[in-house]
Structure formats: C-alpha cells, structure tokens
Amino acid sequence: MTAPTTATDVNQPSLEHAPPAGRRMSWPVLLLVIAGALALTSIVRLITGANGITNVSQMSTALQLAVPIGLAGLGGLWAERAGVVNIGLEGMMILGTWFGAWAGFQWGPWTGVLVGIIGGCLGGLLHAIVTITFNVNHIVSGVAINILALGATRYLAPLAFEGHQGGSAKQSPPVDSLGHFSIPGLSGWLDSLNDQHWFFVSDIAGLLGGLVTDVSWLTLIAVALIPATWWILWRTPFGLRLRSCGENPIAAESLGVNVYKYKYLAVIISGGLAGLGGVFLSIVANPFYLEGQTSGRGYIGLAAMIFGNWMPGGLAIGAGLFGYTDSLNLRGGSANVHALLLLGALLLVAGAIWLVIRKKYVKAAITFVVGALVFAWYAGTNEVPNQVVSATPYVVTLVVLALSAQRLRMPKADGMQYRKGQGK
C-alpha cells in the first residue's frame, strides 16, 4: 500500500531533490581565468604605456569604490535568496548615508555606522511589510521606497544640518574619520615592486598593494562580510531554511519552516547591509552626507549580484569590476579608458575563438566584428571623450550582464507572492 500523495508532493519538488543550480566554475579554474585576465591586462599596459591601469593608487581607489557596490549587492543577495526582489537598495543606501552622517557628526563615526545600519534596516522593514504581509508587487514597492527615501532625506537635511558649522540644506557637517591602516613593510614593498613596471609581477603587486595600503577599518568589515554571508547561507541550518524560502516556500512550510519569519529577517538584513554601504559613502569615501552621493550604486550593486549568479564570490568579483571601471573617472580616466579599449578588443577576439571552438559560428562572427570595431576605435584615436569615461561604469554594467545572462540561475521563487498555507 502506497502513501497518499499530497498536493505539495505533486506540484512542488522536495528540498532534498531540488534541481541543481547548474555548473559552477571551480576555484582553480576561476583563479586561472583571473590570472589570464591579469596577464592580458599586463600585456596591454606594456603596449600602451598606461601604467596607471594597475598601479597601487588605482587599485586602492577601485577597492574604495567597490565596497558600497558590494554591500548593496550583498543586501540584494540576502533578500532574493529568501524570495524577495529588492529594487529598493538604492533608497536604503540613501537612508544609510543620511542617518550615518546625522549621527556621526554629533556622536562620533562609529555611532554613525550603527545608526546608518538602523536607517537601512528601517527601509528593509518597510519593504518587508509591504511585500510579504500585504503582497504588493516587489518592483513597485522597491521603486516607491527609492522615491520615498530621496524625498525624506531632502526634507530632513535642512532641518538637521542647517545652522551647524559646515552644514547646509544639501550637505552635513563633516564627520570624524574611522581611521585607516597599512600593513607595515608589505605595503611599501608591494608599492616599490609595482613601480618597476615588470610584466605580470608588477600588476599583481599593484592589485595586492591596493588591498593593504591606506585601508579603512570599515572596508575590512565589508570584505569580511563576503565569506561570512557564504558561511551563514550555505553552511548553517538557518541559511538552509532561508534559501528554501526563496526556492520553494510551500515545500519549506510543509517541513515546518516559518516562511514569513525568514523572509522578514532576510529583507531587514538586506536593508542593513545596503545602509552600511550608504554609511561607507558618507563617512569613509566622503566625510559628510551629500545629496545624491549614492549615484545609482544601489542599482549597480543589484547588477553585481546578478552577474555573480546570486553567489557571494561572484558578487565580489562583479563589485570589483564595477568599482575598477568607476575608479577610471578619478585617476587618469581618458588615457586609461583608451588603453582598456585594446584590452576589450583582445577579450572579444578571445571570446570569438572560444565560440568557434564550441561551434557557435554566428555568435563568433558577431563577436569578432565587434572586437574589430573596438580595435579600430583604439587604433584611430589617441584618447576618448570625457563623456565616455563618465559612462564607462554603466556601459560595463550593461555589457557584462548581457554576456553573462545565459548562465544565470535565480532562486526559483524570487519575486513570487506567497501566502501562509497556500499549498494546502
């Protein structure tokens, strides 16, 4: 006699037998790809003479710009792994910038960090109430939070900052520094090695030097949150239950998981991480709140999360890539972007060869033609317009997402409305 089959058994796969997420790149292969890209970058540097593309200062700036993007992406990852799309990351970052600076100039920078995280959590809580309890469309709720956060901070800024030294209707008074550190000996040695401009070795020295030179303590915390998130979500019972809510909430409920609870926790944590990214902008990147200083980083963080296939490691690589392209605006942008045109052409040609090996001849031909056009642009000019330099981070975001779209696998129940007991 067989056991009766329930509606859940028929319509929903069990958590133990959920379909695989697809092939993932192993760490040795990933490291080999990164080394190959760095070697190709080194060749481009030697050909063009643009030593700034891998020097310590460039990498240090790239790290500083990557941190808020990465924190916003981590926030998106927590929410979407629980099945809630969080377009409101930009608004939660805005709340983090304002609350962090408001508390920071009055009671010190570490208090500002804590209050900024709370500000982001409040945005996450609002998003959770609207989407989880009232089942409002997640995209609509996120867009509304972005608009609400922008309007609220514009209203509060004159009330909180005007009348204080250095404050105005659009800017807070300065906040004290959290402090920076460099690893004695190692930092100077890597800097000297980078100045030799040797093939590959100097580029690795520049990359590592940027990670150990003039680093904020908040940067260290942000970097540590990447492996911490991986360990919590993929190596603990709490993380398994949370991810089950994003894959199959009905099956999770049938196994005794309080789906509402885990979704709420995930979205509130998501807001807190985005708020921490905002705090970084208003205390570390700039020692004050400034209206509009997020500049779309919440959306780029969301793009980094998608590029990383909803995984912390891939997200970190995406944030680093977008942070690096953003840093080109600040340090020799035109010359460096012009040199990277050659790198882009070489990568496209390599991609065309790979597509030929896989017998995808039409895609290979298109990729090769695009690569040839990019090379012609590089060869026919000595610099690129400043407008192109400013647009580079956003163009790279679109190109990377377009090229990586075919291998992405989002959580199955991401963005789906859920009601307790709906599987009965």
Cα 2 from Cα 180, distance rounded (Å): 66
Same domain membership, residue 344 and residue 289: no
382 lies in some domain: yes
Ordered alpha helix ranges (H), 3-108: 7-11, 27-48, 56-81, 89-107
Claim to verify: residue 229 and residue 141 sit in the same structural domain: yes
Residues 293 and 334 grouped into a single domain? no
**Which tokens belong to 223?**
């970097």
pLDDT of residue 262: 96
- 343 and 289: one domain? no
User: Residue 19: inside a domain, yes or no?
Assistant: no
Q: Are residues 258 and 297 in the same domain?
A: yes
Q: Which domain CATH number covers 281? A: 1.10.3470
Q: Within this chain, do residues 281 and 367 fall inside the same structural domain, yes or no?
A: no
Check whether residue 347 and residue 271 sit in a common domain.
no
Are 219 and 70 in contact, with CB atoms under 8 Å apart?
no
Q: What is the tally of structural domains in the chain?
A: 2
Write down the pLDDT at residue 137: 95
In a domain, 165, yes or no: yes
Confirm whether 98 is domain-assigned.
yes
Does one domain contain both 117 and 226?
Answer: yes
pLDDT, position 329 = 73
Residue 42 domain flag: no
Please indicate, yes or no, whether residues 117 and 239 belong to a single structural domain of this protein: yes
Instruction: Please report where in the chains the tokens 């000019």 appear, as a residue.
Output: 381
Domain check: are 208 and 168 in the same one?
yes
DSSP output for 94-152: HHHHHHHHHHHHHH-HHHHHHHHHHHHHHHHHHHHIIIIIS---HHHHHHHHHHHHHHH
Same domain, 239 and 142: yes
Please indicate, yes or no, whether residues 334 and 306 belong to a single structural domain of this protein. Answer: no
Tens-of-pLDDT digits for all 424 residues of the chain?
A: 444 444 334 344 444 334 444 456 667 777 787 888 888 889 999 998 888 888 888 899 999 999 999 999 999 999 999 999 999 999 999 999 999 999 999 999 999 999 999 999 999 999 999 999 999 999 999 999 999 999 999 999 999 999 899 999 999 999 999 988 888 888 889 999 999 989 989 999 998 999 888 899 999 999 999 999 999 999 999 999 999 999 999 999 999 999 999 999 999 999 999 999 999 999 999 999 999 999 899 999 998 999 889 999 989 988 998 888 888 777 666 778 888 889 889 988 988 898 899 888 998 899 899 999 999 999 998 888 877 777 877 787 777 777 666 678 889 999 998 888 775 5
Return the pLDDT at 402.
72
Q: What is the pLDDT of residue 332?
A: 60
* Residue 382 structural domain: 328-409
Domain presence at residue 77? yes
